[in-house]
Amino acid sequence: MSGTRTSTDRARRAGSFDRRHFLIAAGGFLAAAAFPWHRWLRDLRFTAIPIEEHSPNAALGHRLRDGTIPAEAPAGAIEDVPVLVLGGGIAGLSAAWWLSRNGFSDYLLLELEDRTGGNSMSGENAVSAYPWGAHYLPIPNAESRFVHEFLEEIGAITGRDGKGRPTFDETMICHDAVERLWIEGKFQEGIVPQAGLTGDERAEMRRFFDEMRRFGDRKGSDGRPIFAIPIAEGSRDRFRAKDLAELDRMSMAEWLDREGYRSRPLRWYLNYACRDDFGSPLERTSAWAGIHYHAARRGVAANADSQAILAWPEGNGFLAGKLRALGAGKIRAGEAATRISVEGDAVLVDTLRANDGARSRIRAKSVVVATPRFVANRILPEAARAPIDSAVYAPWLVANLTVEDLPGTTEEGHAPLTAWDNVSYYSDSLGYVVATHQTESIARGSVLTHYWPLSDRPAKEARLRAARTTPAEWRERILADLEGMHPDIRSRVTRIDYRVWGHGMISPAPGYLSGDERAGLERSFGRVHFAHSDISGMSLFEEAQYRGVLAAKRVLSDLGRTERRGKV
């Protein structure tokens, strides 16, 4: 019975099974056909792109901030060194270079990170070396004397022509195409927008650049240019003249409004420029600084355009490496200064090793503090601290994307085919530079260094937000950003390495450059001398190097040594 029923039931069930499964299968098929597989596969591939963070040692920095490092003297013998340099960025390395250049190598340089370079450091993988921050040096102005001396010493300047103009090593001059802008669906050469401008917009651009030329030609009562690099080599009137002091107190946006510069493409470009050099938008950048960007560059070269730049696969990591190699003293990386005190003629510096937490004390005759001042203020004795409430340090994201081949090289409408610097008119980032541009070897692929000043909100807020952003979120933001220029970017990227620079660079906010606080940073505290680009108020190689050399000069004077060359 049951068998019959069973078989009948089975037969009935079998019939209904077939129909049901047919319907499910058919429905499934239709759903599958409608499913956006290509996107799913793409996303699957992109979520598999490995991403790794390489941010600076924030934990140690936060211990300094929070005061959790013991205040009492470390146990053990005190190490004696005549001169101690704290911080191995361009300023600290330049101080060491200048000491060595003047025959003094009995110094010790301490660097918190596991290698020197600061925000001019670089990395390397099987495909190419690449920058982690600073990536180029413009052909230097005549007044950038120490830069010339340094470039001569490392062979980047190979000679001079009959007019005394330096000849630069051709392999270091960034070759064409230097930069391009993605605008209105294609690339144009150069970053100043050209496509689709109205007559009025063109006229406004011309008016702006003519005005910048006049600012560039302007001299003070001492005959020196108002806008110079380093800034301190400019006229003493640079902030004294009423109109110039006023420029520093207003923002670039306010100045543009006042002068009637309203065109969107021009303001886009000027905002790009402020974010590029200062990490801050028009609204939060001093107008004096914004004008300096366009008026101060007067590069001199026998074999290059005055606006040409020098670039290397590893960016300014190349220059940091050369400075390190020329310094004849000792360097200890992975060891931070945690406390500075003065006892009689001696300066005592307590240190902490990053890897094992070992603490020690060093006694020096002179010390160069080449850390940012917000760090120095945490480790200096009370009397030596300088108020820096007006200092703004801009956060940045720098990502290195290893790619199988260069995006845009095979697509139509991408002319010129590649450029060193690639920027989108529609993006919040600054685009990317190509690490292999100078070598022209892309047989093993390339590395694209993607720059993103986190300037959409005030620095502190942006820094906190960046600290909370996960690697997966950065991956999506970076790829989505680059997709605007290169829709196929995801299929070319094989890995992403990134670094969040919480305090990437000093931003010249309105009032900072001409203010008393910044001027106060120039002063030494006895035999403790300061050297960092934040003393200049602009984060440029030339400024950091200048500050390092000035501090080294003060050290040489402390030691009663006469310099062989290069008097300021």
Binding stretches for ligand FAD (CB under 6 A): 86-92, 110-113, 118-120, 133-137, 316, 336-337, 370-372, 375, 396, 398, 451, 501, 504-505, 532-533, 539-541, 544
Nearest approach in angstroms of CB 453 to ligand FAD is 8
Nearest approach in angstroms of CB 134 to ligand FAD is 3
Nearest approach in angstroms of CB 366 to ligand FAD is 16
Residue type, 525: F
CA angle in degrees (0–180, nearest 5) for 262-537-567: 125
Contact indicator for 302, 429 with CB cutoff of 8 Å: no
Distance between CA atoms of residues 389 and 517, nearest Å: 8
Find, among 119, 528, 87, 70, the residue nearest to 335 by Cα.
87
Q: Based on CB atoms, which residue is closest to ligand FAD, 208 or 541?
A: 541
Distance between CA atoms of residues 142 and 544, nearest Å: 17
Cα separations (Å) of 124 from 127, 227, 313, 493? 8, 36, 9, 16
Contact indicator for 88, 334 with CB cutoff of 8 Å: no
Whose structure tokens read 């997966």? 472
Torsion (CA) 509, 515, 521, 523 in degrees, nearest 10: 160
Cis before residue 36, ω within 30 degrees of 0? Answer: no
Nearest approach in angstroms of CB 106 to ligand FAD is 19
3-state secondary structure of 293: helix
Q: Based on CB atoms, which residue is closest to ligand FAD, 120 or 251?
A: 120
Q: Based on CB atoms, which residue is closest to ligand FAD, 136 or 261?
A: 136
Contact indicator for 147, 140 with CB cutoff of 8 Å: yes
3-state secondary structure of 336: strand
Find, among 548, 553, 552, 524, the residue nearest to 536 by Cα.
548
Phi-psi region of 562 (alpha: psi -120 to 50; beta: other; left: phi over 0): beta
Q: Based on CB atoms, which residue is closest to ligand FAD, 110 or 478?
A: 110
Q: Based on CB atoms, which residue is closest to ligand FAD, 92 or 265?
A: 92
Nearest approach in angstroms of CB 319 to ligand FAD is 9
Q: Based on CB atoms, which residue is closest to ligand FAD, 336 or 489?
A: 336
Q: Based on CB atoms, which residue is closest to ligand FAD, 113 or 204?
A: 113
Q: Is 169 exposed, middle or buried (0-12, 13-18, 19+ CB in 10 A)?
A: middle
Nearest approach in angstroms of CB 88 to ligand FAD is 5
Nearest approach in angstroms of CB 24 to ligand FAD is 55
Residue type, 306: S
Nearest approach in angstroms of CB 450 to ligand FAD is 10
Nearest approach in angstroms of CB 376 to ligand FAD is 8
Q: Based on CB atoms, which residue is closest to ligand FAD, 263 or 429?
A: 429
Whose structure tokens read 């340089």? 109
Q: Based on CB atoms, which residue is closest to ligand FAD, 248 or 421?
A: 421
Q: Based on CB atoms, which residue is closest to ligand FAD, 134 or 403?
A: 134
Nearest approach in angstroms of CB 373 to ligand FAD is 10
Q: Which two tokens stand for residue 488?
A: 């196929």
List, in sequence order, every beta strand (DSSP E) within 214-345: 309-311, 330-333, 335-343
Find, among 137, 154, 541, the residue nearest to 301 by Cα.
137
